[in-house]
Amino acid sequence: MSAEARDRRKLIRELLVARPIATQEDLRTVLAERGHDVTQATLSRDLAHLGARRAASGYELPEVPRDAPLLPDLVRSIDDNGTMVVIHTAPGAAQIIASALDRARPVEILGTIAGDDAIFVAPARGVAAQKLVKRVRELVRAIK
Q: What's the CATH code of the domain at 98? A: 3.30.1360.40
Residues 131 and 88 in one domain: yes
Q: Collapsing DSSP states into helix, strand and coil, what is residue 80?
A: strand
Q: Would you say residue 20 has pLDDT above 80? A: no
E strands, 6-117, where? 53-55, 58-60, 75-80, 85-89, 109-114
Task: Tell me whether residue 66 is in a domain.
Answer: no
Show the domain range for 111: 71-142
Residues 56 and 84 in one domain: no
Q: What is the pLDDT of residue 85?
A: 95
pTM exceeds 0.85: no
Q: How confident is the prediction for the chain on average, in pLDDT? A: 84
Better-predicted residue by pLDDT, 123 or 57: 123
The residues, any chain, with a CB within 8 Å of residue 119's CB and separated by 6 or more, are 86, 87, 89, 94, 97, 98, 101, 112, 113
The residues, any chain, with a CB within 8 Å of residue 126's CB and separated by 6 or more, are none
pLDDT band, residue 35 (cuts 50/70/90): very high
Q: What is the pLDDT of residue 1?
A: 65
